[in-house]
Amino acid sequence: MANVLTAGLGYPRIGEQREWKKGLEQFWAGKQDEEAFRKEMRELRIRRLLRMKESGVALLPSGDFTLYDSMLDHIAAFDLVPERFRKFGASDSLAVYFAMARGKEGAPACEMTKWFDTNYHYLVPELASKPQPRLAFNPWRDAFLEAKEEAGLTTRPVLIGPYTFVRLAKGVAKGEFANVVRSYIAVYNAVLAELAQAGAEWAQLDEPSLVTDVPEEHLALLHEIYDGLKTANPGLKLHLQTYFGSVEHAESVFALPVDGIGLDFVRGGEENLKAVKTVGWSTGKKLGAGVVDGRGIWRVDPDRALTVLEALAALVPAGDLIVQPSCSLLHVPVTSKVETSGDPVVRESLAFADEKLQEIVSLAEAFEARLSGNGAAALPARLEENRTALEALRNHPGRQRAAQAATADASSARAAFAQRHVLQRERFKLPLLPTTTIGSLPQTAEVRKARLDWRRGKLSENDYRSLINGLIETWIRRQEELGIDVLVHGEFERTDMVEHFAHLLDGYYFTSNGWVQSYGSRCVKPPVIFGDVVDRGPMTVAETVYAQSLTDRPVKGMLTGPITMLAWSFYRDDLSRREIAEQIARALDAEVLRLEAAGIGMIQVDEPALREIAPLKKSEWPAYLDWAVEAFRTSVSGVRNETQIHTHMCYCDYHEIIDAVEAMDADVISLETSRSHGSLITALHDQPYGNGIGLGVYDIHSPVVPEVSTMLDVIRDSLAVVPADRLWVNPDCGLKTRGEPETIAALQRMTEAAALARQSLQ
């Protein structure tokens, strides 16, 4: 019997102690020169390769490591640098690379958006008016040779496939998609030819766009692409990898001229298994069976995974099966071995990247035993541990509180927006184009250290609260001096907009080192929803009421919405997402009503994740948006007409969900528009929004402070699509990660721009 192959598809790049993040930020701060920085990144790449090797997985990836983002690597390598960055150097220079990522004076950063329905952000290629792509340099060959020479490993280089690369780009003229994709065949062939010359046996081409809505007219194009790649590189085995769902047009995809295809049997598993049964599988073509969840943090259920593998074994020769994760392990933390505290039942149920690679090897071992007729043999120790841990988790008391977490009816007795608008205008008496911020204000190293010391018992409750209240008072005064109309308390007590609330609700578990990359060097430590989510008392009332006591101007209460609380957490897999969101919404509603009862007249419930976790197939959108909107409305149900409900969204294709946003019926929504370069304004022209709206006038993710004239242009463009009595002026996102001087300068310019715009309306 042939041995069952195992493979990894990608691995976290941040390092066990976030060495990658720290190295990047030191380089950006000028504390490390380029030579030292490159040396440090090389050492980190080698260490991660050796960690993967230790797992025993046979096919290991290379080229998935990046200094910022893999899509950005392709942009640079293919010489697709937008013209505004070329003055900073050559396409392979770090100056140009990081300018595209972060922006530079006179050159706004490339647009950033979510990678499919994950919490990872990628840089969007700009293809409008670009020359024919060419291979300026080959980072995938360099990574392959580095692994071979420094770690003794023959790896499988990973690229984003040409179809997905162009599908995710912007600037492709209508009707020109096929021609644009064709123009990339030559540059991909150049990459692959150099990989083959360097000794690569396999190359992995990631095509997650194949699990989205693929137009039928693209099928012939897909065959043309892969015919071109395979014909030009006959000695190199091509592995086409899909993930995040079931493939569209399985018969056509399975027939592509490649040597292996990877399918996700975690998300979309039923449909993918049915497709293999219905379509059949070509002998000699490898099937990458993604049976270990590359996005979740729970141990694999060995019985479920082995059942899928056995079903596949009846359809595909064992020698053609590869046991692998469902997707890259980029989306999970590095290792759970450092998790030594917290609820032991939950802790023992966790599996991060290193553990998932071990599970893959153990599953392959158990699967081979069953194929050899030894099905009664005991599972490998690792998988027996999984059984025990998952059974204990199923019986956890935290999962027995469904009655406490029962949801309320999302219907509301509130009047229509037009009537509420009049009542709220009378209550708050704001000027035209009122200014506000999204919620968070700069957090210094001092406040971060104090918060950590307080949690560790090194700082007393009184001293900590005194520090937080001092910061609130300082920034209330600063906001007043800047002329901002609607204030915020600054969220200085919050580490993260999700984690903070998770700590104040039942049903959550917290890792000590469960970091994952969000964008660039920004890493987050998502909380873990392991049980039923239940309210347990006030969460934000004290800080908000204190801030309001310091000023006559309105202070917004600030909460994170149920969909974002769900999306930016690792969540349990025994309930539907809808059920979990309903539990969170009911808990948040209790806090909204407490804020209102305490006299807070404006309450913002942020939902930046509403669009990002929408299903990848449009046919599934109506059902999702129905329950997502219902969850938001539940979270603010019962408030009075005079209470103004705000929400915030960023970095999404707003025009795609405008009907759902209107159904949410918030009084004011604030949206990012700076990095998307006005595309939201165009969308609002085509389909106006009927309630209050604020279009972000500057990009908070860039250290560049725009001129007053630049912000004024955004306001004027916005006034072309939003009436003045419903338009708000604000940044495009929270300001927690920005420095104090640049924040003050930017907000000063924002209020000046708003004042100039008001003058023009008189």
pLDDT digits (tens, 9 = 90+) for 453-479: 998 999 999 999 999 999 999 999 999
Report pLDDT for 600: 98
Mean pLDDT of 588-609: 96
CA–CA distances in Å: residue 418 to residues 386, 603, 632, 658, 659: 56, 19, 20, 18, 18
Question: Token digits for 416?
Answer: 């229509």
Report pLDDT for 410: 46
Report pLDDT for 318: 86
In one letter, which amino acid is 101?
A: A
| Tens-digit pLDDT profile for residues 234-244 | 999 999 999 99
Report pLDDT for 543: 97
> DSSP states of 587-609 as a string?
HHHHHHHHHHHTT--EEEEE-TT
Report pLDDT for 1: 39
**Do 417-761 and 5-291 have the same topology in CATH?**
yes
Mean pLDDT of 282-292: 96
Mean pLDDT of 50-76: 97
Reported confidence tier of residue 597, pLDDT bands at 50, 70, 90? very high
> Between helices 269-279 and 302-313, what is the axis angle to 10°?
10
Q: Give residue for tokens 């399975």.
A: 254
Please report which helix (H) or strand (E) contains residue 264, including its range: strand 260-264
- Annotated ligand binding at 19? The verdict is yes
- Annotated ligand binding at 491? The verdict is yes
Report pLDDT for 2: 53
DSSP summary character for residue 378: P
Q: Is 428 helix (H, G, I), strand (E, B) or coil?
A: helix
* Statement: residue 676 has pLDDT above 80: no
CA–CA distances in Å: residue 423 to residues 5, 429, 644: 67, 10, 10
H-type alpha helices, 314-380 = 344-347, 353-371
| Calpha distance 552→351 (Å, rounded) | 50
| Tens-digit pLDDT profile for residues 386-409 | 999 999 999 999 999 877 776 545
> DSSP states of 507-560 as a string?
EEE--SS--EEEETTEEE---EEEEEEEE-S-SSHHHHHHHHHT-SS-BEEEEE
* Statement: residue 422 has pLDDT above 80: yes
Report pLDDT for 455: 87
Report pLDDT for 590: 96
- Annotated ligand binding at 440? The verdict is yes
Give phi and psi for 485, each to the nearest 5: -85, -45
Reported confidence tier of residue 612, pLDDT bands at 50, 70, 90? confident
Report pLDDT for 356: 98
Question: Token digits for 91?
Answer: 């396409």
Least confident segment among 529-538, 599-608, 682-691: 682-691
- Annotated ligand binding at 28? The verdict is no
| Tens-digit pLDDT profile for residues 84-95 | 999 999 989 999
Report pLDDT for 374: 74
- Annotated ligand binding at 439? The verdict is yes
| Calpha distance 632→615 (Å, rounded) | 18
| Tens-digit pLDDT profile for residues 173-212 | 889 999 999 999 999 999 999 999 999 999 999 999 999 9
Question: Token digits for 202?
Answer: 């396999």
Cα-based angle 115, 116, 121 (whole degrees, multiple of 5): 20
User: What is the percent of the chain where pLDDT is above 70?
Assistant: 97
DSSP summary character for residue 407: P
- Annotated ligand binding at 648? The verdict is yes
| Tens-digit pLDDT profile for residues 28-46 | 999 999 999 999 999 999 9
The answer to whether 91 and 136 have CB atoms below 8 angstroms apart is: yes
489 catalytic? Reply is no
Q: Give residue for tokens 């920005």.
A: 738
Q: How crowded is residue 734: how many other Cβ atoms within 10 Å of its Cβ?
A: 24
- Annotated ligand binding at 650? The verdict is yes
Reported confidence tier of residue 762, pLDDT bands at 50, 70, 90? confident
Report pLDDT for 406: 65
Report pLDDT for 240: 98
Out of 331, 421, 646, 701, the active site residue is: 701
Is the alpha carbon torsion for 571, 572, 578, 580 positive or negative?
negative
Mean pLDDT of 468-497: 95
| β partners of residue 729 | 435
pTM value surpassing 0.75: yes
* Statement: residue 52 has pLDDT above 90: yes
Map out the domains of the chain as residue ranges. Answer: 5-291, 337-395, 417-761
Q: How crowded is residue 678: how many other Cβ atoms within 10 Å of its Cβ?
A: 14
Task: Just give the CATH number of 5-291.
Answer: 3.20.20.210
The span from the first CA to the last CA of the chain, in angstroms, equals 83
Q: Where are the beta strands (DSSP E) in 607-708?
A: 644-649, 668-671, 692-695
The third-level CATH classification (topology) of the domain covering 417-761 is TIM Barrel (3.20.20)
- Annotated ligand binding at 336? The verdict is no
Between 225 and 703, residue with greater pLDDT: 225
* Statement: residue 653 has pLDDT above 90: no
Report pLDDT for 138: 98
- Annotated ligand binding at 110? The verdict is no
Instruction: For the chain, give the mean pLDDT.
Output: 93
Mean pLDDT of 333-338: 95
| β partners of residue 692 | 668
